[in-house]
Amino acid sequence: MNSALMNTYNRFPLTLVKGEGSYVWDDAGNKYLDFTSGIATCNLGHVNLYVKEKVEQQLNTLWHCSNLYHIPPQEKLASQLVNNSCFDQVFFGNSGAEANEGAIKLARKYTKTVKNSSAYEIVTFKQSFHGRTLATLTATGQSKVQIGFEPLPEGFRYLPYNDFDSLKDLFKEQTCAVMLELIQAEGGVVVADKEWVKEVVRICKKNDVLLIIDEVQTGMGRTGTLFAYQQFEIEPDIITLAKGLGSGFPIGAVLAKKEVAKAFTPGSHGSTFGGNPLATTAGLATIEYITEKNICQNVSELGNYFKDKLHELLPLNPILKEVRGKGLLLGIALEGEAIDVVNAARQKGVLILVAGANVVRILPPLTTNKDEIDHCLSVLKEIVTSSEYMVSC
Ligand SMILES: Cc1ncc(COP(=O)(O)O)c(C=O)c1O
């Protein structure tokens, strides 16, 4: 198709024009069960009525004003995030990459101005994904997102994920922070080993190195707690959020402990749109809905149910290797091309995703129910037991 858009996405042959709850409709009126949630973004389902009403009120009041003025929903959202976490202060941006960029800047500024140290290096992990800006694609431990953009910014080093042995190389004199995802979502739905994470924390503490957890995909209830770090018995110095924070409105956030956050002073960081009244109203309504409706409990219960049922699919086809994930961030590792399963599911009215070449990724809205999960399971079962699928993989 001739398009005025730059060719940056391999798009599915589907045009979505409407959404409601767990469902979306295409331009021909076909209905799909959306178990992608806009890649873990529309976590409360499409057009969530509580969020919609709050945003509508704000739309009738004030759309935008500069961060040179006080913005009440921004203050309230920051308080809610702080009251529900181990952090003290928040900076708002517009996306996950921007949140990670902000976290990297904060780590370096803190190290230079508060610790008075010249350390600058951020250690990240192979197969990670942290965004597409120059610093965050460099932080990303996958060369496929870096090729062609050289020279890359200095000061990043990569270690293998979940690998105890290589932790002996974690700290070097120039290391100022470690940044990691507790589930490498884009990297194949790989869950961090809790003991390995604790060892990373121990080394960071011993050497006075900051720990940044990228919760852009795992945050806002996706894994069964408001933030994934809460299941790992750790207290990071910084976390980053985006995706589910605004229920579909673009917003990102850096949350930090007071001692670290104080390194940002007027002029050190900023954004025209970051924390604007509309996005932060959406964020505030989102966190209110998650906490008041006990959404995290729904996620843990349904996540366990879904995972158990996915395990029951494994013996049906030897190509299916492993079920991975936590809460409603789930993956099925296979020997064949995951995209074949995704395409077959779409043709049967269910939208799911890949994570790398060989992992099917499933990201239902956190408001989903057993009936919808059972429907997705029956479609997956039909696909993995069909003769075409056996042949194509
Ligand atoms: C863990 C993680 N970090 C960062 C990002 C980048 O977020 P954004 O696309 O909003 O810039 C993503 C996006 O998929 C992500 O999954």
How confident is the model at residue 224, as a pLDDT? 98
Integer Cα distance of 88 and 82 in angstroms: 6
Which regions of the chain are under pLDDT 50? none
Strand partners, 177: 122, 210
Ligand 1 contacts (CB < 6 A) are 95-97, 100, 129-131, 181, 185-186, 214, 216-217, 242
Q: How far is the CA of 317 from the centre of ligand 1 (A)?
A: 32
pLDDT per residue over 38-67, tens digit each? 999 999 999 999 999 999 999 999 999 999
Name which residue sits closest to atom 3 of ligand 1, judged by CA.
Answer: 130
How confident is the model at residue 388, as a pLDDT? 75
How confident is the model at residue 391, as a pLDDT? 52
Q: How far is the CA of 310 from the centre of ligand 1 (A)?
A: 26
Q: Ligand 1 pocket test: which of 101, 130, 145, 222 has the largest number of ligand atoms within 8 Å of its C-beta?
A: 130
How confident is the model at residue 387, as a pLDDT? 76
Q: How far is the CA of 313 from the centre of ligand 1 (A)?
A: 30
Integer Cα distance of 59 and 131 in angstroms: 30
278 in Cβ contact with 55 (< 8 Å)? yes
How confident is the model at residue 1, as a pLDDT? 66
Q: How far is the CA of 28 from the centre of ligand 1 (A)?
A: 31
Residue 363 burial by Cβ neighbours in a 10 Å radius (0-12, 13-18, 19+):
buried
Domains of the chain in sequence order:
16-34+294-392 (3.90.1150.10), 49-292 (3.40.640.10)
44 in Cβ contact with 250 (< 8 Å)? no
Determine the atom of ligand 1 nearest the C-alpha atom of 97: 11
Integer Cα distance of 238 and 333 in angstroms: 31
pLDDT per residue over 183-239, tens digit each? 999 999 999 999 999 999 999 999 999 999 999 999 999 999 999 999 999 999 999
Is 0.85 topped by the overall pTM? yes
Integer Cα distance of 215 and 341 in angstroms: 27
Q: How far is the CA of 171 from the centre of ligand 1 (A)?
A: 26
| Cβ atoms within 10 Å of 31's Cβ, excluding its own | 12
Integer Cα distance of 234 and 367 in angstroms: 27
How confident is the model at residue 140, as a pLDDT? 98
